Amino acid sequence: MDFFVFVSEQWVLVSAGLVLVYLLAITEGNKGGKLLSTSEVVQLLNRDDAVLVDVRERKEYEAGHVTGALHIPHNKLADRKAELEKYRNKTLIVVDKLGQHAGNVGKQLRKEGFDVRRIRGGMVEWQNQNLPLVAGKA
């Protein structure tokens, strides 16, 4: 009961706190790169302005991936970062299954000076939109 009394008496303070938490969440979320819809990703890829970097494990990648995607598993990024240097002037679109690793990889690449974006919903959303995939070895 005391909680509700506090909130009703200090509603300005509580509101300011909620706004700050919301802004912090947005800022932290964007550190891994702006989230793009699948249609925005398709436009970037079709204009050849971007490179898709798939950071899923080999088994998931081989089961189905976007044509032309560069496969660098998230746990191998440190060893294989040099492979991305030739794409420094392009937008890197980082994708994984749901987005949990793409954010961390995006943060690392942004620190290195890359322009990074992520797919909202990851490969699950790509598949839900019935967008094309190819299967095969990495």
What pLDDT is attached to residue 23?
63
Q: At what angle do helices 2-9 and 11-30 cross, to 10 degrees?
A: 90
Mean confidence (pLDDT) of the chain: 88
The better pLDDT of the pair 5, 81 is held by: 81
What pLDDT is attached to residue 29?
55
DSSP E strand boundaries for the chain: 34-36, 50-54, 70-71, 91-95, 115-119
Proportion of the chain above pLDDT 70, given as a percent = 89
Cα 22 from Cα 20, distance rounded (Å): 5
pLDDT digits (tens, 9 = 90+) for 39-68: 999 999 999 889 999 999 999 999 999 999
* CATH class of residue range 33-128: alpha beta
